[in-house]
Structure 1
């Protein structure tokens, strides 16, 4: 399959990913043979076998719209010597080919111990204390991202789409009434332990798609929601609250942020429901419980 036959307006499938990966590697002078697909949700992430490089391909128009921001944030963090993944040098980034967008990164061997909530809290404290923000960093507008995903759904029924759009309106209205305790500033935007790479010298931060200027309370929310909703074996919320010095679950606005986080967890894969059918059973489970108002049933990570 040629890259020119891949429709950039749609979600990527496993069949088309190889064409995109091959074109990206050819442009960067890399060998895609034996590359391992290590993640496929909003982005497809490959680990190359022939070089210590990770290739990240935007999987939807929403992800492509944020790729310039990802590069800007990565360069800003590198300038501050912040422990984060680094862009591959000597390559024009982001790389655009026939409407597809990719970024290339230096591989960080995941040879350290599992990062926990305290590790994430320490990195967030350091991030929140950095001078900045980086140039052109957008304001935090989570509903824009969610509505963009809902504008390009794959196999999403009309009733489900209408419910999710109505929920966007309800959450947005509730957010307008919130009072924040922490000063606003740069936020990671998707701060959970899954976005830490367990390097030998200590965990490093990755995934800057949602980085913005916004309320710091949001960066403390994903781990708390993960403790309440996702079927994780470890409690990362308690050590995170202790290390950061704030227990977000005690903040009066937490129920609103919990609903926003769960809305994001439901809608994050809407653009690839057809392209990546293996995630559909878990998505249906999340959608059913979220829609019914069930706050106790556990969810599993998308795989």
Structure 2
């Protein structure tokens, strides 16, 4: 499996082939498999087998896979409101130089999780404590810098601006981390990462970005998304459910900028292969450069399923 797209990631066809090989290895049916996401990971639901197969699309992210399996095991031991690894499989599973993890399938259940569910869940999540093993420190700048360094279609002026933005944010992020007392941070807390179980409980998944740092980080995606995507009332409802309004936090300007940096740089690896995403990236960057908080953005997921912020 060597086929990659222009961003250097393994293609949908290659990842689908790998998923079927994993299913054969596990001796489970995959005829009804469907692709859920194609971002840093290819995520497939196999409903008949009652599992989800999650395959990394980069050989440089193996450390994340091992971190995720350790976290998921710890969450299960703590009875945390999180998705669960399949218990009958040795994890992770190697497949052609990549790594895969196998998760319990949660069938789509109504009603869809809400921001109120997110607020209540995060309140529980943030009181779990920290695991008895090392976690990376929250560092959105380092992630952005890696994406910028790997970009193939980024103009020099764009790269220069983004790197200067990273440089300005670096000491402010360090200050927040020094003040944070190393709280558990999910890292990408939004309703798209929530699932409702058939029992009615709500759980959160996607632990790739989970780290230690300021807990307020997990309350930022909703208000920033409300401003940039023109959504209404979501932040007020989240703040009420959690019991804290992050927009009134003294560090809100830094927290907001860190989230916006992530939302802009998420597109960088796909500029060469996805014209719609490239246009949206430049819309976002233009509004940042001009300090235009009124500019409306379009979710990348509405333009191309290969990336979702």
Whether the TM-score (by the shorter chain) exceeds 0.5 is yes
Deviation at 1:91, TM superposition (A): 1.7
Are the aligned partners of 1:48 and 1:55 in contact in 2 as well (CA < 8 Å)? Answer: yes
Deviation at 1:106, TM superposition (A): 0.9
> Secondary structure in 1 aligned to 2:71?
helix
> Which residue of structure 2 lines up, in the alignment, with residue 118 of structure 1?
116
> Which residue of structure 2 lines up, in the alignment, with residue 214 of structure 1?
213
> Which residue of structure 2 lines up, in the alignment, with residue 301 of structure 1?
299
Deviation at 1:273, TM superposition (A): 4.1
Q: 1:134 to 1:26 in 2, by over 3 A?
A: farther
Q: Distance in 2 between matches of 1:148 and 1:94?
A: 24
Structure 1 residues 44-123: aligned runs within 5 Å: 44-61=42-59, 63-123=61-121
Deviation at 1:154, TM superposition (A): 4.1
Q: Distance in 1 between matches of 2:171 and 2:56?
A: 30
Q: Distance in 1 between matches of 2:229 and 2:61?
A: 24
Are the aligned partners of 1:54 and 1:107 in contact in 2 as well (CA < 8 Å)? Answer: yes
1:143 to 120, 129, 141: 141
Q: Distance in 2 between matches of 1:247 and 1:123?
A: 16
Q: 1:242 to 1:49 in 2, by over 3 A?
A: closer
Q: 1:141 to 1:247 in 2, by over 3 A?
A: same
Q: Deviations over 1:134-183 (max 9, x none)?
A: 42222222222222222322433333222222211111133345599875
Q: Distance in 2 between matches of 1:121 and 1:90?
A: 32
Q: Distance in 2 between matches of 1:134 and 1:193?
A: 28
Q: 1:55 to 1:290 in 2, by over 3 A?
A: farther
> Which residue of structure 1 lines up, in the alignment, with residue 245 of structure 2?
247
Q: Deviations over 1:180-200 (max 9, x none)?
A: 987541111111111111324
| Structure 2 residues not aligned, in runs of 5+ | 302-309
> Secondary structure in 2 aligned to 1:151?
helix
Structure 1 vs Structure 2 CA RMSD: 2.6
Deviation at 1:131, TM superposition (A): 3.4
Q: Distance in 2 between matches of 1:289 and 1:196?
A: 30
Q: Distance in 1 between matches of 2:243 and 2:181?
A: 14
Deviation at 1:222, TM superposition (A): 1.2
2:153 is aligned with 1:155? yes
> Which residue of structure 1 lines up, in the alignment, with residue 307 of structure 2?
none
1:132 to 130, 133, 139: 130
How many residues matched? 299
Q: Distance in 2 between matches of 1:58 and 1:291?
A: 33
> Secondary structure in 2 aligned to 1:47?
strand
> Which residue of structure 2 lines up, in the alignment, with residue 235 of structure 1?
233
Are the aligned partners of 2:116 and 2:241 in contact in 1 as well (CA < 8 Å)? Answer: yes
> Which residue of structure 2 lines up, in the alignment, with residue 27 of structure 1?
25
> Secondary structure in 2 aligned to 1:66?
helix
Q: Distance in 2 between matches of 1:182 and 1:243?
A: 22
Name the structure, 1 or 2, with higher relative contact order (CA <8 Å, separation 6+): 1
Q: Distance in 1 between matches of 2:146 and 2:208?
A: 14
> Which residue of structure 2 lines up, in the alignment, with residue 192 of structure 1?
190
